[in-house]
Structure 1
Amino acid sequence: MGNVCKDEFQLKRFGFSDCPPERFYTTQWHKCPWFLFAWKLFAMLYWIAMLVATLVETAHVNYWIFLTNWGVLVILIYVISSFAVTVYGIVTKEQWTQPTDTGVRTVSGVVDPREDKTIRTPVLPLRWFHMLVWQLQLAAMGLSLIITVLYWTLFDPRFTLYDYNSHAINFVIMMLDFIIIAIPTRLLHFVYMALLSAIYCIFTAILHGAGYTSHVYPFINWADNPGIAAGVCIGITFVAMPLVQALFWSLYLLRNYLGCKVNPTTSNMTSQDVVMTPQYRSVEAGKVNPAFQ
């Protein structure tokens, strides 16, 4: 666990590049992309149908100011773009570049334990649309959980189609997607969730300053209780969002562990490090097995 945490707190983990593209086309549990294709197609069609139905039922001029509807739109963009990327992977058959096993062994045919090293090899780089989908998945997961928790704890729930879909099914859809996909979760990505939260809080303050509305929600009322509004914004941005990301990261580690038991080919490899199996270990690049000197 210590090594996992040490590896996670590296500067590169702030970015969206240390992941092979193949993880966007297959599930955590199986290499075949068709199950992922079916799931992405279902999620996309369901969310589009849900959005159309709820817009017909609840559309109004203030639709765009609520965090719930920001979450709905982020999920919509995510399910469409992730489906498109899945189709791209299937059509192009873009695969993860595997390292070549040099098969360096001792004269007895047994791998020299002194040469039990890790080969560092490049793989196909992520394209801009991979990174976009990764960021959208991060935002959609965080928003779906925050929106669901806030709604069922701080509001008087209304049991309508819109409320079920926007404050419950949204999280169910994203949680199922999180379980199925093979895209990794990075602990340090909490900064992007915090940034999204800060953007929405600033947005509500702009609405107040522009005279449009001062109380998007009862607990964010910049006219009557600016101190409470600021405290809520700070708490959600700097406390809730890091905790949410830590929760998802913990679930990712569990998913990855279980997934490796079911399908070892989807182990937590990055684009920098590929570990060969014990039967096929080769020496570190640039080294020569002493047995052959």
Structure 2
Amino acid sequence: MATSCGYEFQLRHFRFESADESNFYESQWTTCKTVFVIYRTVIFLFHWGWLIAGWVLAKLDHYYTLTNWSVFFTGLYFLFAFVTSIYGITIKKEYSGPKTDPTLVTDQSSTTSGILKQGKLNILHQVTWFLHVISTTYALYVVPVYWVTVAPSQTAEKRAMPISVYKHAVQLVLLLIDFFVAAIPTRWVHVVYSQLMAFAYAIMVVIVHFAGVSSRVYGFLDFEKNAGTAVGILIAATLLAPVILHSIYFGLYHLRMLIHRSTGNGREPDAATDSSKHNAAPSHDNPAFSL
């Protein structure tokens, strides 16, 4: 399966517009909104239970660690995803029929009763999509960095603390499960948003240093002992790491769609055919993909 640079680098992809609204209301594997709402409710409550527990135990941690940023943005994502799924099951109009890419819809100004226009995402969808990008990237960065650079210097008792295990392992597992359950697409150009958030975190670390709060966020990020190394790490973490991590998710998105097609659920309708005359199964896919 493949995609094209011409498709991926379209301007509309930068604006979180190139998806169908149902991508946020339904799973990749079923169009039953009720099932999806139940899933969203469970995962939202589960994560927020741990998030609140982390706040209660805040005296053992610091707000400026990347781990806490990651858990917080994951919480925001699950919150908005939950609210969006509720919105999807309560709106009166819903899209019926095969799901094609919004670019294949030549007249988005006209609608038929009972049909939801494709490509018209509102702010709720767009914020959910943005948080999806940020939370997945943060978690995939935090977990390996923690176990490779931080965990070895901690006591076994501290590593085994339930809240630590959740933040540095379970959270990523939940996001990976969600990545394959949900139908939210992955656009490679969204890597710029991961870079922007990484830049925001780097600025925060610098402010924390100069404000005298802490010059040592992690052992490898110590402005007092080696400012040059710390600056170099922040630059690499801002420019290079998001590209690598987001590319991994982009590859996983390809894998998800390959599995989706292999199960017989990914048949794309003919763009030149009137979809109302067919009963093809809905497909959350990128039409640039081809087998």
State the TM-score, normalizing by the size of structure 2.
0.81
Residue 120 of structure 1 is matched in structure 2 by: 106
How far off its partner does 1:5 sit? 3.3
Q: 1:119-172 deviations in whole A, cap 9, x for unaligned?
A: 634334100010000001111101111110111111125111111100001101
Residue 26 of structure 1 is matched in structure 2 by: 26
* Alpha-carbon separation, structure 2, partners of 1:154 and 1:179: 29
Q: 2:124 is aligned with what amino acid?
A: F
Q: 1:171 to 1:277 in 2, by over 3 A?
A: farther
Residue 148 of structure 2 is matched in structure 1 by: 153
Residue 113 of structure 1 is matched in structure 2 by: none
Following superposition of structure 1 onto structure 2, how do residues 245-260 of structure 1 map, counting pairs within 5 Å?
245-260=246-261
Q: 1:172 to 1:277 in 2, by over 3 A?
A: farther
Q: 2:203 is aligned with what amino acid?
A: I
Residue 58 of structure 2 is matched in structure 1 by: 59
CA contact (8 A) 2:143 2:172 kept: yes
CA contact (8 A) 2:97 2:276 kept: no
Following superposition of structure 1 onto structure 2, how do residues 27-106 of structure 1 map, counting pairs within 5 Å?
27-56=27-56, 58-60=57-59, 63-96=62-95
How far off its partner does 1:66 sit? 1.1
Q: Secondary structure at the match of 2:253?
A: helix
Residue 11 of structure 2 is matched in structure 1 by: 11
* Alpha-carbon separation, structure 1, partners of 2:106 and 2:271: 6
RMSD across aligned positions (CA): 2.6
Q: Secondary structure at the match of 1:17?
A: coil
CA contact (8 A) 2:150 2:219 kept: no
Q: 1:2 to 1:277 in 2, by over 3 A?
A: farther
Q: Secondary structure at the match of 1:216?
A: strand
Q: 1:275 to 1:88 in 2, by over 3 A?
A: farther
* Alpha-carbon separation, structure 2, partners of 1:168 and 1:266: 35
Following superposition of structure 1 onto structure 2, how do residues 171-190 of structure 1 map, counting pairs within 5 Å?
171-190=172-191
Q: Secondary structure at the match of 2:63?
A: helix
Q: 1:22 to 1:278 in 2, by over 3 A?
A: closer
Q: 1:260 to 1:277 in 2, by over 3 A?
A: farther
Does residue 142 in structure 1 map to residue 137 in structure 2?
yes
Q: Which runs of 5+ in 2 are unaligned?
A: 99-103, 109-116, 279-291
Q: Secondary structure at the match of 1:60?
A: helix
* Alpha-carbon separation, structure 2, partners of 1:226 and 1:78: 34
Q: 1:50-77 deviations in whole A, cap 9, x for unaligned?
A: 1233333x31286311111111111111
Q: Which has the larger radius of gyration?
A: 1
Q: 1:252 is aligned with what amino acid?
A: Y
Does residue 167 in structure 1 map to residue 168 in structure 2?
yes
Q: 1:253-288 deviations in whole A, cap 9, x for unaligned?
A: 111222234363686x9xxx956489969xxxxxxx
How far off its partner does 1:93 sit? 4.4
Q: Which runs of 5+ in 1 are unaligned?
A: 100-117, 282-293
Percent identity at matched positions?
29
Does residue 132 in structure 1 map to residue 127 in structure 2?
yes
The ranges of structure 1 where at least 4 consecutive aligned residues each deviate by more than 6 angstroms after the TM superposition are: 277-281
Residue 101 of structure 2 is matched in structure 1 by: none
CA contact (8 A) 2:223 2:230 kept: yes
* Alpha-carbon separation, structure 1, partners of 2:232 and 2:272: 47
Q: 1:23 to 1:93 in 2, by over 3 A?
A: farther
CA contact (8 A) 1:36 1:180 kept: no
How far off its partner does 1:11 sit? 2.3
Between the two proteins, the alignment pairs up a number of residues equal to 258
State the TM-score, normalizing by the size of structure 1.
0.80
